[in-house]
């Protein structure tokens, strides 16, 4: 199994015919423009943000050791070495699929300038079959 996409955005919408729309896609950073004289400028507190994360994976179904079908995940954001609450969920993959995705949607996330990372673990029948830790996935910048 390999991760083929990781995209941060404002929102992920589920469309008809098994499609997804990613709204407000970020590059390698989120820039908060903070006007002088505002509460954010004086306190340093950034406004809450809705942040979505789209992850897409490819399964090896034909190799000598085919990937087992994933059925669950555990995910955690890490901001400046501080851990956010753990998010867990099921994964449903049709036996004929080789590509599957995981979407994480966080409402009113309180961020601060620094670096956002994540830990991800994927399971099959309770056994960990994939893990990824990335400490520098997205920069958070205040201007």
DSSP string across 4-68: EEEEEEEEEEE-GGG-EEEEEE--SEEEE---TTSHHHHH-PPPPEEEEEEEEEE--SSSSSPPP
Q: How far is CA 58 from CA 17, 89, 98, in A?
A: 20, 19, 6
| Average pLDDT estimate for 5-32 | 95
Go through 74-93 and write b for each residue having 16 or more CB atoms within 10 A of its CB, e for each that does not: ebbbbbeeeeeeebeeebeb
Residue 36 is predicted with a pLDDT of: 83
Which pTM was predicted? 0.89
- In a 10 Å sphere around its CB, with 0-12 CB exposed, 13-18 middle and 19+ buried, how is residue 28 labelled? exposed
pLDDT of amino acid 136:
94
What's phi and psi for 56, nearest 5 deg? -125, 140
Assigned token pair, 78: 């890490």
CATH architecture of the region 2-142: Sandwich (2.60)
Which is more confidently placed, 142 or 23? 23
pLDDT tens digit string along 58-80? Answer: 999 887 889 999 999 999 999 99
pLDDT confidence tier of residue 33, bands split at 50, 70 and 90: confident
Over residues 127-132, the mean pLDDT reads 97
- pLDDT category of residue 22 using cuts at 50, 70 and 90: very high
The secondary structure of residue 96, as a DSSP letter, is T
Each residue's pLDDT tens digit, 101-121: 999 999 889 889 999 999 999
Residue with tokens 């004929």: 96
Mean pLDDT, the chain, rounded, equals 93
């Amino acid at each position: 199994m390999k991760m083929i996409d990781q995209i941060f955005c404002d929102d992920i919408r589920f469309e008809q015919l098994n499609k997804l729309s990613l709204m407000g896609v970020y590059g390698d950073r989120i820039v908060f423009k903070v006007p002088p004289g505002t509460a954010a400028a004086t306190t340093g507190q950034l406004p809450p943000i809705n942040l979505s994360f789209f992850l897409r994976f490819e399964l090896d179904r034909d190799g000598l050791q085919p990937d087992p079908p994933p059925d669950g995940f555990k995910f955690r954001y890490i901001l400046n070495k501080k851990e956010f609450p753990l998010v867990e969920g099921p994964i449903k993959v049709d036996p004929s699929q080789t590509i599957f995705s995981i979407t994480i949607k966080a409402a009113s996330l309180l961020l601060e300038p620094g670096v956002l990372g994540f830990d991800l673990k994927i399971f099959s029948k309770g056994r960990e079959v994939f893990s990824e830790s990335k400490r520098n996935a997205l920069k958070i910048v205040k201007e």
